[in-house]
Every structure is written in structure tokens, then in C-alpha cells.
Amino acid sequence: MLGAQLYQKFLPQEYDVFCGIDVDKKKMLVTLTDHQDQTKSVQMPSDPGILIRYVDKHFPAKRIAFAYEAGPTGYKLHDQLTAQGYPCLVLAPSMIPQAPGQQVKTNRLDSKKIAESLRGGQVRSIHVPSSAYRHLRHLTQLRDTFVKEVVAFKCRIKALLLFEGIPFPKASVNGQWSQRVLEELKRLPVNESVRFKLDQLLSSLSFACEQALKTQKEIRRFCTSDPELSRCVRYLTTIPGIGWIVATHLLARIGDWRLLTHVRQIAGFLGLAPRESSTGERRRQGSITGIGDGRLQAKLIQSAWVSIHKDTELESFYRNIYQKHPRDRAARKAIVAVARKLTTRIYCVLKEQRPYVVR
């Protein structure tokens, strides 16, 4: 399935009123419409309780469905509406229909577009993760933030030394940032201003490394304390090439494995499915869609490189794909195909709740 999220079905004929909401930090613009195209828009504070009281008062005997666009306000509105028994769809922004040539964008028009799309059955909700997966997503995002900062500070340190014409301390490829190298950097004979800048960068690098490590420990603690998460991580890490970091990121993004219905879902969800433009007898496939979480895509491709050295079946598959493409792009095409093949194994171990056995 292609898309930025896993979707759920919605049948508009089962409801009388359709409520589209454009929500921000302080207020929300609500548009309500029905099957007779009677439409009403109202602005109110960004408080789910006020919205619930409003619809209870003005539409007491109506079946009402709600929808709003996923964004920085999170899932609070969804949680409170569903807790009161109302269906609420959270929509991926890229999947909301757009009128060709429309040049005007306002909160009222956005809420009206959502309400009309909901009434027409043109939208599907993303899967809103449950509490455990939602919390795990926070932790994995934080870990990636600190890891990104670690990489950035390392680049800044190297850029400073290059600019000043100072050689970086000699080290092996895998030991460029060992404790010995860091100590040498602290003792480099440089002028006062460069010394101050280098010390601050080293201090920031040390802090980012420490925070990344703390976050990783918290992820382990959180997963091991939850029986379902612990079990799923254990199954995922039996797949060659997938370790704790990739497994926890996968669970954070996929969420509840029970909602998986087809083996191709994960590849599409993770942006590893090929683009396609086919018509008549002609079938043309292009590069991967690349939608979804780019950081997870990169991790899965790294996992694919590891897996072909551990799994003879994947190594054979990689070589077979490699031989079918020109040399300048063969490795890239082949390793992405391996990453996509890994998603079928991910689906199986999660759906069947069993470890993977290398043949």
C-alpha cells in the first residue's frame, strides 16, 4: 500500500453530518456539512470539549464523523473525540484532494475541503498509534535528533581543522573518534580563538554523544518493560542485518502489527515500493517512492548491506539484481531491492509472531 501511513476504511453513507476541522495552537475552524450540501462554518478555541458540547447541542440526533489534518497539534483532538464515541479520521496532508488551479488558501476553505472530502469518501485515516507505540516514537525521534547532532559536530570539527590547515590526528577508519583521538584534539597546539572554538565543539560533541547514549538506554528500558514491544523486538532482531536500533524504529513507525493485512503494506508504507506509470499493455516502473520516514529508509538500506553478508539467500538475490543493471547504478538498485525484500521478512515475523530462521 502506498502512502505515508497505514490507512483505515471509512463509509460516509453511515453518517449524517461531516465535520472538517482546521486546528492550530489557539483556535480551530470547524465546517459541518451534510448530504444535502447544507454547510456551516464556525470558529472556536482549540479545545475538544468545546467542540463536543457544540455538536451535542446543535446536532443531538445526528450521526457525526470528524476529520482533521495531521500536524503539530498531535492526537489530543482524536483521542477526546473517540473517547466520546465519535469517529475521527486523522488525515495525511499529502492525501487530501486538491482542486486544480486553486490559488486561495484559508482556514475556512481548508476545513470545508476536509468536510466535503469526508462526505465524498475521498479520504482515509492514518493509523493513530496506541499509547505504547506513540511513546516509543518520541524516544526514537529523540535518539535520531542527538545522533544527527553528533554527526554535525564531527563535521564542524573537521571543517575547522581543514580551514586552519591543521591535519586531523591519524587513526584507523573505524577509530577516527576514539578516546585517544579526542584527547589529541584537546591538546592540539593552536591559537587562542581556534582553541576556544574547538573546545566548545568538542564539549558539544561529548554532550550529544552522552544524550544519544542515555536515550538509547531509555529505549531499551521502555521496550523491555512492555511485554509486546519486548517480544516484537526480539523477533525482529532475528532477521539478519536488523539490530535493536532498526527494530525499535520500525515498531515506532509501524505501530500495532495486528493492523497489517498484506505483505506489500510495509514496503509501500516505508517508501521502498517502486513508482509506477502504466497504461494499456505498457507497464513502467521507476525509482522508489521515497515517502514516509527517510531516516528509517536509510537504516533499512544499511541493514540490507549487513544482511547480504550474513544471509546467502539475500546475497544471491543481490547479485542477481546487480547483474541486470548497468554498472554505474547496479549496486544502488540491488541494495534497495534487498531492503524491500527485508520488509517481507519484517511482515512475516510480526504478523506470525515468531522468530526468523535463516535457511
Q: With helix as H, strand as E and coil as C, how does 189-242 read?
A: CCCHHHHHHHHHHHHHHHHHHHHHHHHHHHHHHHHHHCHHHHHHHHHHCCCCCC
CA angle 38, 40, 42 (to 5 degrees): 170
Q: Residue 7: its pLDDT value, please?
A: 43
pLDDT score recorded for residue 281: 66
Sheet holding 88-91, edge to edge: 39-45, 27-34, 17-23, 64-69, 88-91
Spatial distance between the Cα atoms of 21 and 31, rounded to a whole number of angstroms: 6
252 close to 244: Cβ distance less than 8 angstroms = no
Residue 90 has which C-alpha cell? 486523522
φ, ψ (nearest 5 deg) of residue 267: -60, -45
Distances (CA, A) of 174 to 15, 171, 177: 61, 8, 8
The pLDDT, as a whole number, for residue 283 is 67
- Three-state DSSP class for residue 21: strand
pLDDT for res 286: 65
Res 276: pLDDT: 66
Which three three-digit cell numbers place residue 81? 473525540
Closest CA to 157 of 168, 165, 146: 168
Domains recognised in the chain with CATH numbers: 7-126 (3.30.420.40), 131-225 (no CATH), 231-352 (no CATH)
Mean pLDDT by 10 residues, the chain (359 residues): 45 92 92 92 93 93 93 91 92 82 82 93 87 94 96 96 93 89 93 95 97 97 96 96 96 90 85 73 70 88 95 94 91 93 94 88
Task: Name residues whose C-beta falls within 8 Å of residue 348's C-beta, 6 or more positions apart in sequence.
Answer: 263, 356
Cα gap 6→23, rounded to integer Å:
22
Give phi and psi for 85, each to the nearest 5: 90, 5
Continuous segment of H or E residues that includes residue 41? strand 39-45
Residue 21 main-chain phi, psi, to 5 deg: -125, 130
What pLDDT shows up at residue 248? 97
Interior CA angle at 296 toward 292 and 300, to 5°?
120
The pLDDT value given to residue 272: 86
pLDDT of 162 reads 95
- What are φ and ψ of residue 273, in 5° steps? -85, 145
Per-residue model confidence (pLDDT) at position 288: 74
pTM: 0.85
